[in-house]
Amino acid sequence: MNKRCFEALAMAGAFDSFEGTHRAQYFYKESEDDSPFMEKIIKYAANYQSKLNSTQQSLFGEISVNQETEIHLPVCEPWSKLKQLKLEKEVTGFYMSGHPLDSYRTEMESFCNAKLGDLKGDLRQLMNHNLIFCRHRKFRFT
């Protein structure tokens, strides 16, 4: 797998099940000149694997890999739900962890008295009624 595959997986939420992590950490840069954390992970894994492949077994059959400093997850703010959903949609083509209108569910249930699907049925039932659709606009159906 290459870097783009890992980035797409992270944007889509494939690593959300790892405890104590969130998506923004994988793309976090400590400074403008620094590389994103995802690149650091990939380099670290490649170095580890190459050292593992090049080491020789010890006298007792153990494999010794001298690992240099470990990398740690950066501390940063998580992405907003809207940014997370936007990137999911960009990568997968649909929303996976929610919908952008989920935060407006209470308002839609409280203020709307009609759905657009109601217009498919018998329109005579709606005569002389004030209809409020989810865009908070009133329509008088006559």
Beta-carbon contacts of 107 under 8 Å, excluding residues fewer than 6 positions away, are none
Where are the extended beta strands (E) located within the chain?
129-132, 138-141
Residue 26 has pLDDT above 90, yes or no: yes
What are the tokens at 40?
Answer: 């650091």
User: How far from 69 is each of 54, 66, 72, CA to CA, in Å?
Assistant: 19, 10, 10
What is the Cα 87 distance to its own chain's centre? 6
Residue closest to 3 by CA, chosen among 27, 38, 54, 29: 38
The pLDDT-based confidence of 142 (bands split at 50, 70, 90) is: very low
Residue 102 has pLDDT above 90, yes or no: no
Q: Model's pTM, two decimal places?
A: 0.66
Residue ranges per structural domain of the chain: 3-97, 103-141
Map residue 8 onto helix, strand or coil: helix
Phi/psi for 62 (5° steps) reads -90, 150
Residue closest to 6 by CA, chosen among 46, 34, 33: 46
Residue 131 has pLDDT above 60, yes or no: yes
